[in-house]
A and B are shown apart, each in its own frame.
Chain A
Amino acid sequence: MNSRLAKTAGLTALWLLVACFLLFPFYYAVVSSLRAGSEIFEASLWPADPGLANYRQVMIDQPFARNILNSLMVACAVVVLSLGLAVFAAYAFGRTRFRGRRLLLYTILGVSMFPQVAVLSGLFEIVRLFGLYNNLLSLIFSYMIFTLPFTVWVMTSFMRELPVEIEEAAIMDGAGPWTIVTRIFLPLLAPALVTTGLLAFIAAWNEFLFALSFTLTNEQRTVPVAIALITGASQFELPWGNIMAASVIVTVPLIALVLVFQRRLVAGLTAGAVKG
């Protein structure tokens, strides 16, 4: 009885330790964002005089609301486009046989192996060619380079696991490929869509290098770039309070998303892990 109690206590302590380790940086960012002025350089765990001045400042100094909206638009567009393309690509890869299928599948995977810096200059030329410089469309276009390979791969492995007989039953019922994908497969793939969609969203939301290179004005920037370019009154001052406030603002939506989709996320991750 006693040993069981000790075991429970020990486990709880361990979990608390892990939780502290993982959550402390975020906690410290929140606390710092609430501090005013030079208090930011004190190492206490709780601000002496918590206030929202930094948050107000961040919104006033630059078009931060506009930056958030940009990020949101880009990330959502990337998610919708890459999931839409991935589902139909997965139907082709997972359910039909054609010459060069494996080669094509590995080519798609190969695309994701190039580091961003390697494709940056070439991509920049393409962006200029299409006249998309300093335009959010350039970001949507370039982010698909890294979201599509993994959405296609994950969706393909999910698609392969769906029983063939369900598809055949739909064919017997008179369904064509479009109906099969949209009315039968799409609902069955919902957990996978949520998982991959969320991962694509986070990737697009956090992306920095392309966003920095393809935008020029403050109005077209996404949040990671906007935060990095926050400047103080003089060049010798880094406004840590503002930066922390901005960081908290952009992290909260991600945490909220993950919490909302938590259960489906885990289901999707494990379901995909078994095979593929």
Chain B
Amino acid sequence: MTSVTLEGIGKSFGKTEVISHVDLAIESGEFVVFVGASGSGKSTLLRMIAGLESPSSGQVLIGGRDVTAAPPSERGVSMVFQSYALYPHMTVRQNIAFGLKLAKAGKESIAEAVGRVAQMLQIENLLDRKPSQLSGGQRQRVAIARAIVREPEVFLFDEPLSNLDAALRTQTRMEIKELHRSLGATMIYVTHDQVEAMSLADRMVILHRGRVEQVGPPSELYHRPATAYVAAFLGSPTMNFLSPERIEGGEALLASGERIALPQGDWSKAARIGIRPEDIEIGQEGLPATVEMVEELGETRIVHARLSDGEELAIRSRALTEDDRNSQIRITFLPERLHVFDEDGRRLEER
């Protein structure tokens, strides 16, 4: 069991700064997921932990040992790649055994180790096939088996599920979570899929333009986003944002003259107010709005409504149907579910 610590990590390719000063402490046995849009630097960060990329500044510590200059094979880490990256000319058995062979393990211990991981991932019947004879899901299992077999202390996953179809992705996701439970190893996982991230992570790291926006358990990030970026990044449909004209006596005044009650706190710096689609209630009183469209999602419906000042809102509700288009409704926001951000997008805390 091993911790991973990043201290002031920075990375530039030529003049472009991809990662700027990232500090992060990942505890032993933790499942941490890096999420971010493409170009946020999440893969680069993972590759620096793997040793495939060397940081321009800062240090990488694995198990308390400074491995910044150590080659990948001496870091006790293994990695699962997005494209699986199996060796096409080797059988599944040879693929899994390759690392052990290079480490000069004995024939019997290799056979034993390969048999054990093959059983664990239920690929025993595939051992003598070539990767080209496997389906996407099977290849993914082989790639994971190859990563497990050397019993690394840290597992790195670089978008391992993005090449699988939706049903298989959900299933494999649960298997990876189960694997984490049974191995108890530290796992670092990169994805751009927020659902995948939230379902897997003990803690999520949200990256934006090479900086860490927020680190925390999924529920905390969802319910108490530290920045407007995090608030907008998580959740589908995305959080609604309103820009009040000014704040007056614990209420936000909209351009239309409508008022929104805020929770207790000092809101003098408030610039934007966010509310999630599921935290808006449709009722007899509140702000007037016009229904523009209703999306049927099965378990719920998404109502797209427009406020009198032209702002658009998404509301999660079963109360309305497609027939309610163009009808007038009234909506209220739950004050304790409001998220208030300042000019720079930082969260303002209630008291």
Chain A interface residues toward B at CB < 8 A: 163, 165-166, 168-175, 179, 184, 187-188
Contacts and interface: CB of A to CB of B under 8 A. Distances in A.
B50 interface: yes
Given A171-B72, A173-B73, A174-B102, A166 B52 contact: no
Given A173-B99, A174-B102, A188-B88, A165 B73 contact: no
A174 B73 contact: yes
Contact of B52 (A171, A184, A187, A188): A171
A170 B87 CA distance: 9
Nearest to A173: B99
Contact of A172 (B72, B83, B87): B72
Interface stretch (B74-82, B168-176, B299-307): B74-82
Given A171-B73, A172-B72, A174-B103, A165 B82 contact: yes
**What bracket does the count of chain B residues touching chain A fall in?**
20 to 34
A172 to B, nearest CB: 5
Nearest to A179: B102
A169 B102 contact: no
Contacts of B98: 170, 173, 175
A168 B103 contact: no
Contacts of B87: 166, 169-170, 184
B107 interface: no
A188 B85 CA distance: 13
Interface of B: 50, 52, 71-73, 77-79, 81-83, 85-89, 98-99, 102-103, 146, 150
A174 B78 CA distance: 10
Contacts of A188: 88-89
Contacts of A163: 83, 85
Contacts of A172: 50, 52, 72-73, 77-79, 99
A98 B21 CA distance: 28
B241 to A, nearest CB: 39
Contacts of A184: 87
A169 B85 contact: yes
Nearest to B99: A173
Contacts of B89: 187-188
A171 B16 CA distance: 26
A166 B73 CA distance: 15
B103 A169 contact: no
A198 B251 CA distance: 82
A131 B156 CA distance: 59
Contacts of A169: 79, 81, 85-87, 146
In the A-B complex, the 6 residue pairs with the smallest Cβ-Cβ separation, listed nearest first, are A174-B73, A173-B99, A165-B85, A169-B85, A187-B89, A165-B81
Nearest to A168: B52
Given A166-B87, A168-B81, A184-B87, A173 B50 contact: no
A188 B132 CA distance: 13
A190 to B, nearest CB: 8
Contacts of B146: 169, 173
A173 B79 CA distance: 9
Nearest to A184: B87
B132 to A, nearest CB: 12
Contacts of B71: 171
30 contacts: A165-B82, A165-B83, A166-B86, A166-B87, A168-B85, A169-B79, A169-B81, A169-B85, A169-B86, A169-B87, A169-B146, A170-B98, A171-B73, A172-B52, A172-B72, A172-B73, A172-B77, A172-B78, A172-B79, A173-B98, A173-B99, A173-B102, A174-B102, A174-B103, A175-B73, A175-B98, A175-B102, A184-B87, A188-B88, A188-B89
A168 to B, nearest CB: 5
Nearest to B143: A169
A163 B89 CA distance: 14
Contacts of B86: 166, 169
A173 B90 CA distance: 14
A166 B52 CA distance: 12
B32 to A, nearest CB: 19
Contacts of B52: 168, 171-172
Given A173-B150, A174-B72, 11 more contacts: A163-B83, A165-B81, A165-B82, A166-B86, A166-B88, A168-B52, A169-B86, A171-B52, A172-B72, A172-B79, A173-B99
A165 B81 CA distance: 7
B175 to A, nearest CB: 20
A235 B71 CA distance: 72
Given A168-B52, A187-B89, A188-B89, A174 B83 contact: no
Contacts of B77: 172
A174 B99 contact: yes
Contacts of B103: 174
A164 to B, nearest CB: 9
Nearest to A169: B85
A174 B98 CA distance: 9
